[in-house]
A = this chain, B = another copy of it.
Amino acid sequence: MITRASEQSKSIRENMRGGNEYVQFTHLTSELPAKARIFDILTLIPGASIGYHVHEGETELFYFMEGCGRVQDDDQFVDITAGDCMATFSGHGHSVENTGDTNLVLLAVIIKD
């Protein structure tokens, strides 16, 4: 099943998980397999963030496509840039902040246990 870029729906989440500004979601496909929860592109404008939260019963994989930022990976703070990957397994937590002056763009997929 092909979903053209022009057909992909978008949504906005303000102050996501207690973060700053908003995150734009591009939902790459309207149909997902049973064990996936999202397959989306997330765009954070400069200064935007997703607050720290823990995933339970699922794993989230991020691939950073554009921009740079700072993430919390459990209790560690790490600067990331395009090309880096972050895996947050069940029982672990993360946050993301765009610390650059261009958009931070990442692909996110959530896979249920």
Binding site for B on A (CB under 8 A): 1-5, 8, 28-29, 31-36, 39, 41, 58-59, 61, 63, 65, 71, 73, 78, 80-90, 107, 109, 111-113
Contacts and interface: CB of A to CB of B under 8 A. Distances in A.
B111 A63 contact: no
B29 A61 contact: yes
Nearest to A109: B109
B33 A59 contact: yes
A58 B34 CA distance: 10
A64 to B, nearest CB: 9
Contact of A113 (B33, B61, B87): B33
Contacts of A109: 39, 61, 109, 111
B112 A35 contact: yes
Contacts of A111: 33, 35-36, 109, 111
